[in-house]
Chain A
Amino acid sequence: MLVKTKFLLYTASIVALLTLTRCFYSDKQNEGEQLYTQYCANCHMDDGSGLRNLIPPLAGADYLENHRDDLACIIQHGQTGNIVVNGKNYNQGMPGFEHLDAGQITNILNYVQTNFGNNNPRYSIQEVEKQLFKCRHLLEH
């Protein structure tokens, strides 16, 4: 009987711990990954590999370093025209996501900059806000 109670106690505490850490961990820490899956992965793929010469890769892309200061605006407002990534030309338009706020864009950027084998510096919300301020005239409303 005693063993059973002890077991129950352990189980309960593990469950409680898991529930608690979810509040701090899952929802916010993974927001970048969740948003990436929702808004970016359809084209750039789950592993950031892109699609042949149609959609540029994010994995190992020099563009992420060379255009670091433009990325927040590209996510918010999209992009058209030819771009060069790792020496290759790409010309598929990217849609913008105007409803994403600076915090969400920061999380997406940090996910992209530190995954798929990328190891680039992270962004702060302040840095992203500063970038978005430069392209605020593009906002439709």
Chain B
Amino acid sequence: MIINNFRLYLSAALLGLSAVAWQSCSSPAEQAGGLPYLGERQLVQREVNGQQVTDTVYHRIPDFAFINQDSQVVTSLTVQDKVYVTDFFFTTCPTICPKMKSQMLRIYEAFEDDPRVMLLSHTIDPKHDTVAVLRDYADRLQVNSDKWQFVTGEKDSIYSIALQYMVSAMEDEEEPGGFVHSGAFVLVDQNRHVRGIYDGTDPAQVDRLLRDIPTLLPKKKKKDAGKN
């Protein structure tokens, strides 16, 4: 009987151990401290000193130009050399948007004083969400436009850039509010490569995003953050 019990404990312990091992091995990229490059990649051949070299070209967000809540132009230059988190929403959204925005506020607060990190929210309902509407929305969220840009623009350009971020967004009369869109937060690095996609309605995934952002920031700051 005692031996039986011991066996039971042993197998339980083994099971537990393997679960831990499985968890720690399932995200090798994170362990190595490097986030993956998401999206399609291309192999490009070029010649260096008479030798063929293959370069991997990662998916990159193309140039863009939108208008923000201050009626200022926001382009790819605005996010140059910055890590940014982006999402797609609309102000009259009766479903997941407020939850996304409450999670985005956590990121805002965590990096409020770090100019290397920005937030970029695109409206997918530019017809309703004019500059004035976005201004009012940002004011009511009590956030600063330098840190968190709410942008509008041509509907087609917004929907096509959503595809570049690998986020779904489209009109659908069947959906509450008239649009279907994902609640994704997309993490983009200084070179406009997509480095992570998170569910912006899930606090646990946003916790992970909060931990991932500093890994993209230059080393020096990372050490400081480690000390705190």
Interface residues of A (CB under 8 A from B): 41-43, 45, 51-55, 91-95
Contact = CB atoms under 8 A, between A and B. Distances in A.
Interface of B: 91-92, 94-99, 101-102, 105, 136-137, 139-142, 176-177
27 contacts: A41-B99, A42-B96, A42-B97, A42-B98, A42-B99, A43-B94, A43-B98, A45-B99, A45-B102, A51-B98, A51-B101, A51-B141, A52-B140, A52-B141, A52-B142, A53-B140, A53-B141, A53-B142, A54-B98, A54-B137, A54-B140, A54-B141, A55-B98, A92-B140, A93-B92, A94-B94, A95-B94
Nearest to A45: B102
A118 B58 CA distance: 53
A29 B155 CA distance: 45
A95 B101 CA distance: 18
Contacts of B96: 42
A42 B140 contact: no
The 7 closest A-B pairs by CB, nearest first: A53-B140, A54-B140, A95-B94, A43-B98, A52-B141, A51-B98, A42-B99
A40 to B, nearest CB: 10
Contacts of A45: 98-99, 102
Contact of A42 (B91, B95, B137): B95
A91 to B, nearest CB: 8
Contacts of B140: 52-54, 92
Given A45-B99, A51-B98, 14 more contacts: A41-B99, A42-B97, A42-B98, A45-B98, A52-B105, A53-B139, A53-B141, A53-B142, A54-B101, A54-B140, A55-B98, A91-B136, A92-B92, A95-B177
Contacts of B141: 51-54
Contacts of A54: 98, 101, 137, 140-141
A29 to B, nearest CB: 26
B137 to A, nearest CB: 7
Contacts of B105: 52
A45 B105 CA distance: 14
Contacts of A92: 91-92, 140
Contact of B94 (A41, A42, A51, A52): A42
Contacts of A43: 94, 98
A95 B98 contact: no
A103 B102 CA distance: 31
A83 to B, nearest CB: 13
Nearest to B96: A42
Contacts of B142: 52-53
Which of A41, A91, A92 has the largest count of B CB atoms less than 10 A from its CB?
A: A92
B92 A51 contact: no
Contacts of A51: 98, 101-102, 141
Nearest to B102: A51
A119 B102 CA distance: 26
Nearest to B142: A52
